[in-house]
A and B are shown apart, each in its own frame.
Chain A
C-alpha cells in the first residue's frame, strides 16, 4: 500500500471509512514527512500539531461511533498563509503582521472546517502573494522537493511543495497572475485557477482585487473536482462571487474527449519557451488527438502585452489594498517610538514590508498618481480588454486551449530574485487567463532531462471548469 500521506482524497476517505487506518495515523504520516523533510523544504510557516491532533481525534471518535462522514472529513490540508484561520496565526509571509491571530475563518476555510478538515498548518508564500518563487517571504525560501537548490514556484510555493512532499493530502492557494498553476507545475501536482468569482475570497488578504482567485492543489483531477465542488458558490461576504449553479464536477471525469476542439495558441509555443517544455506539452496534445479530439492552431496576438498590463494594474490595486496594513488595528507597531500618527505609518510600513512589496506599492502609487493615470493605468485597462477579445474570438472556434504553464521548469534559488523584470516574465503564460477571468487547470505532463516536473494548462471559457477537468482526467488516464 502507498504511504498514507501519498494517497488521493478518495483513497484516503475510503481507507478511513473501512478502518484501514485511523485519522491520527494519517496525520502522523504527514507530520513524519514534515519532521523528515521540512527543515530543508520549508513548505510550512507554521505547523499546528496540537490543533490538527484534536481535529483528527474528533474524526476518529465520529468514525468509532459509526457516523457516515463527508469525503473531506479527516483529510489533512495545508493552507496558504494568506487565508484567515480562526485561532491560528496568519502572517501573509510578512513580518509586518507579527503575531496576528485572525478571529474568524475565511469562507473557503470555514467550508472545509464544516466538512471536518484536519488543518496541518499554514504554508509559505511570497509576502502578500507577491512573487513567482516564494523567495520573497519573511520566513525563508521554500525549496523544491524535486531539487532543493531550485524554487518551488510562487506565490503559493509552500502549498505546492507541501503536497508534493507528502506533508498534506491537498492544499489551498491563491492565483492572481499564476500563483497556483506555476508552483503546481514546478512541483508536479495539479492546481486549479477557477473562474474569477467562482470561489469566495472573503477572509483572504486581497492582493489585486480584479485578478485574485482562490483555488485548490491536488494529486489527481478527481481531487481537484471534489475540492472545487466543496468550495465554489455564492458568498454574501464576497459580492464578486457568482450565483451561477455549481455543477456536479464528477460528471466531467468520464475520460472521453471525442469531438472536443482543442486550440494551441501559437504565442505560447514561441522561442522564449524551452524546447523540452514544448515537446512534453505537444506529446500530451498528441494523446488527445488519438483520443478523438480535434487539434486547431489558433492565435492570441495580444499575449505579448499581458505582463505589462498585469504589472500596471496589479500594483495599482495592491497599493490600495495594502493601505490597511499600518500597524494599528493589527500587525506590528514600529520598534522606535514614532513622533506622530503619520510617522507611525511610515515606520510601521518601512520596517514591516519587504523589498518586493515596497517596489510594487511604489509602482502602483506611481501609475495612479496625478499625471500618470491615463498614460499607464487607463491604457493598461484598455489593453486588458484587447486580451479578453482575443480569448472571446478563439473560444468561438475551440472548446479549450492547451499551453505550457511556465516557459521553463523550476529555476535556481537566487537566479532571478535581484532582477524583478526577469522574474515578472516568469508569469508571461499564466497572466492572460487571470486578465480575462478564465479557469485554467495546471496538469503535470512529464519531466525534463534534469528530472524536474513540467506542466501544461487547460484554459476554458468562464465558468467552464468542467471542460478543464474533462481534458485533465483524460490525460491522466493515458499517462505513460
Chain B
C-alpha cells in the first residue's frame, strides 16, 4: 500500500495540486492498480529486448528544407489567456 507521503510526492513531481480528500482516495486506487502489476513477475522475459517502437522505424531522415508551418506565430500566441509581450507570453516570476 502506498503511503500518503508517496502520493503527495508523486503529485508534486507531476505538478498537480491535490486536496487531502483526493490524496486518500487516490492512495487506495493507485495501490490496487500497482498491486495488480505484480502479474508481470510471472512473465519469462530474461532474454527479451524492450519494445519502444512497433513498426521497426528508426532514424527517419528528411531533406533539410523549409516547408510552410500549418499556422503563424501570431495565431498560436492568440491561444494564450495570459498577457503578451511582443512575441512572448508574460508569465509569473520564476526566481525570487
Show the binding face of A for B, using Cβ within 8 Å: 86, 98, 100-105, 195-197, 203, 210, 236-237, 239-240, 242, 302, 304-305, 307-309, 311-312, 319, 326-333, 338-347, 349-351, 353, 355, 358-359, 361-363, 365-366, 369, 376, 378-386, 388-389, 420-421, 424, 435-437, 462
Could you name 30 residue pairs across A and B whose Cβ atoms are closer than 8 Å?
A86-B71, A102-B79, A195-B55, A196-B54, A210-B53, A239-B57, A240-B55, A240-B57, A308-B39, A326-B15, A328-B91, A329-B80, A340-B92, A345-B15, A346-B17, A349-B14, A358-B16, A358-B22, A359-B29, A362-B7, A362-B16, A365-B14, A380-B40, A382-B45, A383-B40, A383-B45, A385-B45, A385-B49, A386-B44, A389-B48
CB distance from B76 to the nearest CB of A (A): 6
Closest residue of chain A to B96 (Cβ to Cβ) is A340
Q: Which residues of A contact B1 (CB under 8 A)?
A: none
**Contact of B50 with A378 in the complex, beta carbons under 8 Å:** yes
Q: Which residues of B contact A311 (CB under 8 A)?
A: 33, 36-37
In the complex, how many residues of chain B place their beta carbon closer than 8 angstroms to a beta carbon of chain A? 52
Contact residues of B between 14 and 31, Cβ < 8 Å to A: 14-18, 22, 26, 29-30
- Using A344-B92, A349-B17 as known contacts, say yes or no to A332 and B81 having CB atoms under 8 A apart: yes
**Contact of A333 with B81 in the complex, beta carbons under 8 Å:** yes
Closest residue of chain A to B2 (Cβ to Cβ) is A366
**Contact of A333 with B82 in the complex, beta carbons under 8 Å:** yes
Give CA–CA (A345, B92) in the complex, Å.
Answer: 10
Closest residue of chain B to A110 (Cβ to Cβ) is B70
**Contact of A385 with B16 in the complex, beta carbons under 8 Å:** no
Q: Which residues of B contact A347 (CB under 8 A)?
A: 17
Kindly list the 7 A-B residue pairs having the minimum CB-CB distance in the complex, ordered from nearest: A350-B17, A437-B54, A103-B75, A381-B50, A104-B70, A103-B71, A382-B45
Q: Which residues of B contact A435 (CB under 8 A)?
A: 54
Q: Which residues of A contact B6 (CB under 8 A)?
A: 366
Give CA–CA (A340, B75) in the complex, Å.
Answer: 27
CB distance from B49 to the nearest CB of A (A): 6
Secondary structure at the A interface, as helix, strand, loop or mixed, is helix
**Contact of B70 with A203 in the complex, beta carbons under 8 Å:** yes
Give CA–CA (A309, B13) in the complex, Å.
Answer: 23
**Contact of B55 with A242 in the complex, beta carbons under 8 Å:** yes
Closest residue of chain A to B12 (Cβ to Cβ) is A346
**Contact of A328 with B37 in the complex, beta carbons under 8 Å:** no
Q: Which residues of B contact A328 (CB under 8 A)?
A: 80, 82, 89, 91
CB distance from B50 to the nearest CB of A (A): 4
- Using A381-B52, A386-B43 as known contacts, say yes or no to A349 and B78 having CB atoms under 8 A apart: no
Q: Which residues of A contact B93 (CB under 8 A)?
A: 340-341
**Contact of B40 with A305 in the complex, beta carbons under 8 Å:** yes
Q: Which residues of A contact B67 (CB under 8 A)?
A: 236
Q: Which residues of A contact B80 (CB under 8 A)?
A: 328-330
Closest residue of chain A to B18 (Cβ to Cβ) is A350
Give CA–CA (A339, B67) in the complex, Å.
Answer: 41
Q: Which residues of A contact B54 (CB under 8 A)?
A: 196, 210, 388, 435-437, 462
Q: Which residues of B contact A378 (CB under 8 A)?
A: 50
**Contact of A341 with B45 in the complex, beta carbons under 8 Å:** no
